[in-house]
Amino acid sequence: MSVNCTDCGGIIEIPENAEVDEIIECPDCGLEYVVVEMEHGLLSLKELALKGEDWGE
């Protein structure tokens, strides 16, 4: 699975064994993302630079 970097548009691969809260860097620009779980157990990436208003606790 892969997503596009929101900053440079590069492709970031999400490893199959990635875990929620794992940090993954964009290989092109180095922007850091955190692995988040979406609906249906799918994994996605959220830009780490955002000052997490969204963390719940």
Which of 1, 11, 23, 29 touches Zn ion (CB under 5 A)? 29
Cα atoms in the Cβ-side hemisphere of radius 13 Å centred on 37: 7
- Could you tell me which residues come within 8 angstroms of residue 55 by beta carbon, excluding any fewer than 6 positions away? none
Cβ closer to Zn ion: 4 or 37?
A: 4
Distance between CA atoms of residues 22 and 18, nearest Å? 7
Q: Smaller CB distance to Zn ion: residue 8 or 14?
A: 8
Residue of 1, 4, 7, 42 that binds Zn ion (CB under 5 A): 7
Instruction: Summarize as ranges the residues that interact with Zn ion (CB under 5 A).
Output: 5, 7-8, 10, 26, 28-29, 31
